Amino acid sequence: MEENLYEKLGGQESIGKVVDYFYNELVLKDETVNQFFEHTDMEKQKKHQTKFISFALGGPNQYSGQSMAKAHQGMNLQPEHFNAIVNHLHDALAHYGVSEADIDTALTRVASLRDDILFK
């Protein structure tokens, strides 16, 4: 049986490292999007995001947060914000040696959430 992307990337612990790098080294240093996290408990955000990404990549469903539309309501996120986040996720996955084919699979799943996130 073929491994799913969650298993292939090393499970929740490895995804947690990607999420830490994603926020600490990329998102929070990017003036395009860092303002959206000014009043965010980042430890809670990272744990939440690790569970969400783990589930999105085929791992166990530990995600108990709001729907994407509800979580982004009132933020009025624009395409440039979404694209910046997608690019940062690409770079974080690449930083940890994930193949371009697997990154494309992961980003395709993220892209499916676009309509639930933008213009809310």
Per residue in 27-86, pLDDT (tens digit) is 999 999 999 999 999 999 999 899 888 888 888 877 777 888 898 999 999 999 999 999
Is residue 90 annotated as involved in ligand binding? no
With b for 16 or more beta-carbon neighbours within 10 A and e for fewer, the 70-107 pattern comes to eebeeeebeeebbebbeebbbebbeeeebeeeebebbe
Task: Please tell me the predicted confidence (pLDDT) of residue 1.
Answer: 64
The class of domain 8-117 in CATH terms is mainly alpha
81 labeled binding residue: no
Instruction: Give residue 3's pLDDT.
Output: 82
Q: Band of the pLDDT at 12, cuts 50, 70, 90? A: very high
The answer to whether the CB of 18 falls within 8 A of the CB of 97 is: no
Q: What is the pTM of this model?
A: 0.91
Beta-carbon contacts of residue 40 (< 8 Å; ≥ 6 apart): none
Query: According to the model, what pLDDT value does residue 55 have?
Result: 85
